[in-house]
Amino acid sequence: MKRVLLTTLGCKVNQYESAAFRTSFTEAGHTIARQGEEADIVVINTCAVTAKAGAQSRNAIRQAVRNNPQARIMITGCYAEIAAEQLAGLEELAGREFSLIGNSKKDLLVPTAVDFDAQMQQMLLGAIDQASEICRLPVRRFGDRTRAYLRIQDGCESYCTYCIVPYTRGPSRSLPLAEVIAQAKTFAEGGYRELVLTGIHLGYYGRDLDEDMDITGLIDRLSTETPLMRYRISSLEPMEITDRLLELMNSRDNIMPHFHIPLQSGDDEILARMNRRYTTTQFRTVVEKVLEQVPEACIGIDILAGFPGETEQQFTNTRDFLASIGCTYLHVFPYSRRPGTVAASYEDDVSKNVKDSRVAELRKLGEQKKAAFHTRQVGRIVPVLVEGKRDGEGFLKGFSDNYVPVRFKGGDELKKQIALVKLTEIDGAQVRGEVVIDHESGNYRHR
């Protein structure tokens, strides 16, 4: 029996995959160590989406080596995929047992860690650009939570000019329908009440399968096969939000009215330089269609500020466009140059001070949008998935179907249940509520 320490950086897909590692190590008889405890095997699941993420990955590796002087070091994830040579040459790894595991070989990580070769180094990288099947990484437990991530797809073929992900994740690969449903049922049996469907490009789900199945068809089947499970979509490209999907969402109580839609810029010239395949007019039409058919939907939007060549006027266009559409919140990031991408060759970079100023302005707008959305929700009765732990003041807490953070008073019998809560007042970044009682039976109305 060995002690295994897992460190995960980056996206929901990485988090799902690390949960799969945890499952496999546990089933092999090993113990998962807590952060700060010394381990025999250390796994670092890295990220490379920005330069900052790459630096954080290197720091995590150095810290793991320093804190676990006898451990085998297993490095995987997107930074391992694009910077294998640099990582193999790290001074801190000299004389240490370590492996670099590519994203297309993650299913080999646990057996490689457990039955380590006599060599000091192992490089299991594969050819990510030729990957044809998604790694099978089943999960038993996703931590002590009410919500879990369900990875249904990997890879991206969009090649936005700023993005390194197609080079680190490879072409789109989908998990076959039967395996997705089996994983969802495993989570349901484990007591989870909500699944967040995750992938690198969710809208491409099924294109590589011989199943005549797309993302909407998958959600249809999942919501039918596991009717007590709530489903939330992590992210969809704007032109992939169809009338059929909206109609399905309206017809099923267990499909959450929540969209996260990457925009990246509110200026058409910048969108074209980014190789984004839509215009601001098309994006606006999508948002209006969503709100027309699902009026209380939560809509989150991704934005990159300071893309090379972004003028003050083009930034103003972005800010004004965002102010004019009915979104709920903004995820705002400064543009980060990634070697190997098309945009890395653009010479008209925006200074850090200007980027920081633009990011701050858009984040302020995002907070105003979120506050306005929360205010509009006051007075509504909404289903809230109650988390298993109370907050620091003893309140129950959870998220509504449309992703409003709610806290309220109630008994422990509501933990990990879905409660009907009347939203009563704004409470900082959250909304205060009261549980609705069925006066005929005297019971909480929850499912």
C-alpha–C-alpha distance, residues 10 and 50, integer Å: 10
pLDDT at site 121 = 67
Number of residues that this document lists for the chain: 447
**Contacts of 237-241 spanning 24+ positions with Cβ under 8 A:** 237/158, 237/201, 237/203, 237/261, 237/262, 238/262, 238/263, 238/278, 238/282, 238/283, 238/286, 239/277, 239/278, 239/282, 239/286, 240/202, 240/203, 240/215, 241/286, 241/289, 241/290
For tokens 């690390």, name the residue. Answer: 18
From 182, 252, 242, 186, select the one nearest 215 (Cα to Cα): 242
DSSP-derived letter for residue 446 is B
Q: Quote the pTM value.
A: 0.94
pLDDT at site 144 = 76
Contact 405, 353 (CB under 8 A): no
C-alpha–C-alpha distance, residues 223 and 232, integer Å: 11
User: Positive or negative, the Cα torsion across 268, 272, 275, 278?
Assistant: positive
Contact 261, 238 (CB under 8 A): yes
From 416, 412, 393, 378, select the one nearest 190 (Cα to Cα): 416
CA distances from 343 to 81, 275, 332 (A): 20, 10, 19
pLDDT at site 35 = 86
Please calculate the CA angle 260-166-245 and round it to the nearest 5 degrees. 30
Supply 214's token pair: 């797309």
C-alpha–C-alpha distance, residues 395 and 381, integer Å: 18
pLDDT at site 442 = 46
pLDDT at site 94 = 86
For tokens 């992210």, name the residue. Answer: 235
C-alpha–C-alpha distance, residues 93 and 123, integer Å: 14
pLDDT at site 114 = 86
pLDDT at site 195 = 98
C-alpha–C-alpha distance, residues 292 and 287, integer Å: 9
**SS3 for 234?**
coil
Could you tell me the domains of the chain?
Answer: 3-126 (3.40.50.12160), 129-256 (3.30.750.210), 259-376 (3.30.750.200), 381-444 (2.40.50.140)
pLDDT at site 447 = 39
394 CB-contact burial (10 Å; exposed 0-12 / middle 13-18 / buried 19+): exposed
Strands across the sheet with 147-151, in order? Answer: 147-151, 194-198, 230-233
Output phi, psi for 288, to 5 deg.
-65, -40
Between helix 215-225 and helix 177-189 the angle, nearest 10°, is 40
CA distances from 121 to 4, 5, 57, 106 (A): 19, 19, 19, 17
Q: What is the DSSP string of 266-315?
A: S-HHHHHHHT-SS-HHHHHHHHHHHHHHSTT-EEEEEEEES-TT--HHHH
pLDDT at site 135 = 95
pLDDT in tens, the chain (447 residues): 899 999 999 999 999 999 999 999 999 999 999 888 889 999 999 999 998 999 999 999 999 999 999 999 999 999 999 999 999 999 888 888 899 999 999 999 999 998 866 565 678 888 999 999 999 999 999 987 899 999 999 999 999 999 999 999 999 999 999 999 999 999 999 999 999 999 999 999 999 999 999 999 999 999 999 999 999 999 999 999 999 999 999 999 999 999 999 999 999 999 999 999 999 999 999 999 999 999 999 999 999 999 999 999 999 999 999 999 999 999 999 999 999 999 999 988 899 999 999 999 999 999 999 999 999 999 999 999 999 999 999 999 999 999 999 999 999 999 999 999 999 999 999 999 999 975 444 455 443
Q: How far apart are the first and last CA of the chain?
A: 41
**Number of neighbours of residue 369 by Cβ within 10 angstroms:** 21
**SS3 for 433?**
strand
Contact 104, 131 (CB under 8 A): yes
**Number of neighbours of residue 249 by Cβ within 10 angstroms:** 24
